Structures are given as C-alpha cells and as structure tokens.
Amino acid sequence: MSGLISIVLDEPTDYDAWRSRVRELIQDGIAPEQVSFGSAGCSGDLFGAAAPSAGARRALRRSSEVRVPRNFPKLARQVLCHRDAGRHALLYRLLWRVQASPRLLENEADGDVHAAKRLAQAVRRDVHKMKAFVRFRRVETEEGEAFVAWFEPEHSIVKLAATFFAERFAGMRWSIVTPACSVHWDGQALAFDSGARRQDCPDDDALEAHWRVYYSSIFNPARLKVNAMRAEMPKKYWKNLPESRLIPELTRSAERAQRAAPAGSSPSAASARRLVAAQPQQTVAVEGRPDSLAAVRAAVSQCARCDLCHFATTAVPGVGPADAPIMVVGEQPGDQEDLAGRPFIGPAGQELDAALLAAGIDREQTYLTNAVKHFKFVPRGKRRIHQRPTFGEVDHCRWWLDLEREIVAPRMTVALGATAARAVLGRTVSVTAERGRVMGDARTGGIVVTTHPAYLLRLPEREAVEQRRRFVADLRLAQEVAEA
C-alpha cells in the first residue's frame, strides 16, 4: 500500500497523544484514506513505516488552524477507550470531515457520527458497570489497611472511571486491578500501572458478608424484572460479586412470593425485609463496658446494635480530647464522614467550623461526635441520600453517646438539632423553644440545644445570615458557661 502513512500510538487510549499526532496530518492535508493507525506492540503488516507520498504532502494544505468542535474532545475521549480496532481511523475521518462541515457531529444520521456515538455509548455503559460492580476486599499491608478490587472491563476504561473512585473512596487506600491496567489511590493521588491476573487479588473476607447483606436488603421483589436485572448486571460480572450467590435464591423467592400474592397485589418491601432477616447477619459482640475513648472507638467500629451498620461504609466514632470542656453532638455522619470515618468533615462540618471559630471555640480542643454512629441513607443513582434516623435507632445508639459523655464529662454539651437533642436529653424537645438557654450547669454538665449546621446550608441566603448569627450566639453561650 504505497503512500500509506502509518501512525503508531504509544498510548492508544489517550486523547491528547492522539490529537498531537493527527493535528499535523490535518494541517498537511493528509486525507483519511492515506493514514493507518496502530498501537505500539501491534504486528506491523498494516503499519509498515511508509513515508508520506509527495502527492499526499502536496494535498490540501488549507490552513494551519485545526477546527475542533466543542463536543468533539469528550466524544473522542470515550471512543478512544473502546476496544474497536478501527476507532482511531473513525475519529480521524470525523475530524477531517469536520474541517469542511463544522456541524457534522450534530447530524445523527451520518454514518461516521452514528458509529462514533455508538462506541462512546458502549464505553459509558462499561464505566457505569465498573462503578456499580467493583467490590473491594480488605487487605493488611505494611502501611496498614488497604482495599483491592478485581474487575474485568470490556473496554479500556480504567482511566476514565478512576476519578469517580478517588472521590468516592477518598479516605481509603485502594487498588483496582484489571487484566490490562491497574489503578492505585494512596489518599492523595492516582497512579496507573500494568494489569495483573485474577489470582493475584484477594478473594474473600468479612466485606463479602457485608455486601451480601446490603444487596439482599436493597433487593425489592416488587420491582423485580429479571430481564432488566440481567441486562444491568450481566452474568459475566456475577462471578466477582460476593452477593452473586444470593441472586438465584432471591429471584426464586420473589417469584414464589409473586405467585402466592393475591391477584392484583405485588410482593412488598416488607417481604424483602423478611428475606433479609433470613440472611446470616454479621454481628460482633462487644465484650465488657469500654472505659476509655480508645476502647469506645474500637468497640464502636464493631457495632452491630442495629441494622444501619450493614449499609454504612464504616462506623464514625467521636473525635477530640478526653478532657474537652465542650462536647458537640450532631445527628449522624454524612456521606463524606461515612467514607472517611471522621465526623464533621463535609459541608455541614465546614459550616460548624466557621461558627466554632466565630464563637471563639477551638475545634481541636472540642469533642465532636454524633447521636447515631452510622450513616443512614437510601441509594439513588450515584448518590446516597441522607435519611433521618428513627427514634429507635437514636435510642439504640445512645449507649455509645452516654459512654462518651461519661468518659469526657464535658462542662457543656451542645446538641445540634432535634435528633441530637433527643439523644442528649432522652426525650423529644422543640429546638426553637429550647435554644438560647443553658439547661443544668457546667459543674455537672450543662446542655445547650441549637440548630443543626446542615439546616443553615439549606436556607436562602438572607435568612441564613440571621440563623447563623443565632447559631454562633448559642455556641458562644456554651463557651462562656464552660469557661466560667
């Protein structure tokens, strides 16, 4: 094939690398039929080192400007991750044609546009599956705890998906290993490496039970559509999922329940809960009564006093010195706290930090904890939506808060919001009615009830200004009494 220009890409999935190679081709007017693409390491029949022909060099040197429509880079980044061997040529053809037809990408009926969008869609779908089906296993390393997951994507999507995991699991050290590429997160930065084999990854540990219980509890027979489920969770992924062993039984139980249900009714979420109850639960006995904050922390991390532990990533114990003059009690950890295992580090925590500063309270010298130690949420798409804990859950978890209060014995306790107030006082009170005054006294432990900082985040700005002022005033009151 004389005159064919061979482009060998060292990083065939990398958009910037591809773009820098094709930019000159476009500028030199090299038509798509004159170019062939291959990756380093591919055998060279198609890609023998052919020099550009004089004819090609003379062709169409129209402008040094390469036109790149705004939606092209995103599309190209996805297409490049597809395993289709013709993807580089397809993208080059598109970029070439875009020079004469700037709105080409909007023409869905065009064969090249359609093909590129189809590849991009397959890649997005693969990324979605990776986000849904990666399951980490805990391992002990010299640097401490780390998490490893094995995954087999269809396309080269590890780099595309990696930032999602870095944000979602920011507080853990983890690696995701695939046959072609591995990605590692050390809490600071992502690093990419070569792939590995399935047998190089850990296989089994307590997290498996956690996932099984979680899956069976979110499994709702009323919504069971087996074909849709198979499409969403294709069988090839099942072997790597701890919960996969439950799928046949849950499916059969749902079908039985469907048959047994009176005409017109459907199996309810309650029957899903009964299925959950039938699964072995992971309970850990806490021996003795912890008598130091370190012992409380260790015991809280094993807590299975209620069902919330099966869904949260980890328990979030309180933090702060054992002789803190002030204890601040929130409702429950939020999404970020759940991932990091530390209270008040997310948006509500930042609001609290600003108010503590304004009230003259040193966060480092304050004990921060929550009424409920596990994050309660419902999954909605990619998000986990906060759910207020029930009175039952609050009352169960008081065991921990009471211990913390006994050990720290703060001069003042600040309860943030109604849930914390119930946990601290043991009864339901109105925050509006109780705020702005001290209950009890600092000698035996006074209490101030105030609003929750998350409430301030939801207010329109004008109202938030006044509510922030009152929030800071409540904190300052606690500080003054603690200092007196």
| Interaction site with ligand URA (CB under 6 A) | 330-334, 337, 343-344, 346, 348-349, 370, 454
Question: At its nearest, how many Å lie between ligand URA and the CB of residue 462?
Answer: 24
- Taking the complex as a whole, the smallest distance from the CB of residue 424 to ligand URA amounts, in Å, to 13
Strand spans (E) along 111-158: 137-141, 144-150
Residues 276, 311: contact at Cβ < 8 Å?
no
Asked whether the beta carbons of 183 and 190 are under 8 A apart, the reply is yes
- Cβ at position 319, least distance to ligand URA in Å: 10
Q: How many angstroms separate the CA atoms of 361 and 359, rounded?
A: 6
With tokens 């046959």, the residue in question is 179
**Between 334 and 446, CB nearer to ligand URA:** 334
Q: At closest approach, how far in Å is the CB of 369 from ligand URA?
A: 8
Give the nearest distance from C-beta 457 to ligand URA in angstroms. Answer: 10
Tell me whether residue 98 or residue 316 sits nearer to ligand URA (CB atom). Answer: 316
The Cα 311–Cα 376 span in angstroms is 8
In three-state secondary structure terms, 350 is helix
391-408 vs 417-425: helix crossing angle, rounded to 10? 60
Residue with tokens 């925050």: 431
Q: d(Cα 326, Cα 27) in Å, to the nearest integer?
A: 68
CB of 266 to ligand URA, least distance (A): 36
For ligand URA, give the closer residue by CB, 275 or 339. 339
Q: Give min distance, CB of 417 to ligand URA, in A.
A: 7
Q: What is the dihedral of CA 322, 327, 331, 336, to 10 degrees?
A: -60
Beta bridge partners of 194: 181
Nearest-angstrom CA–CA distance, 92 and 86: 10
Nearer to ligand URA, 113 or 345 (CB): 345
Q: Measured from the CB of residue 346, what is the shortest distance to ligand URA in angstroms?
A: 6
Residue 477's H or E segment, with its range, is: helix 461-483
- Inter-residue contact 126 to 157 (CB < 8 Å): yes
Judged by beta carbon, residue 52 or residue 330, the one nearer ligand URA is: 330
Sheet holding 367-370, edge to edge: 367-370, 326-330, 412-416, 446-450
Can you read off the two tokens belonging to residue 375? 């994050």
Cα separation, 94 vs 97, whole angstroms:
5
Of the pair 112, 338, the CB lying nearest ligand URA is at 338
Distance in Å, CB of 373 to ligand URA, minimum: 10
Distance CA 151, CA 479 (A): 52
Q: Which residues pair with 386 in a beta bridge?
A: 377
Q: Which is nearer to ligand URA, 307 or 335 (CB)?
A: 335
CB 363 within 8 A of CB 412: no
Residue with Cβ nearer ligand URA (237 or 455): 455
Closer by beta carbon to ligand URA, 52 or else 343: 343
Q: Which residue is nearest to ligand URA (CB)?
A: 330
Q: Smallest distance from the beta carbon of 337 to ligand URA, in angstroms?
A: 4
Residue 76 beta carbon to ligand URA: minimum distance, rounded to whole angstroms: 40
- Nearer of residues 13 and 332 to ligand URA, judged by Cβ: 332
Q: Which of 253, 369 has the CB closer to ligand URA?
A: 369
Closest alpha carbon to 42 in 7, 76, 4, 68: 7
The answer for 67, left when phi > 0, alpha when psi is -120 to 50, beta otherwise, is: beta
d(C-alpha 178, C-alpha 163), whole Å: 16
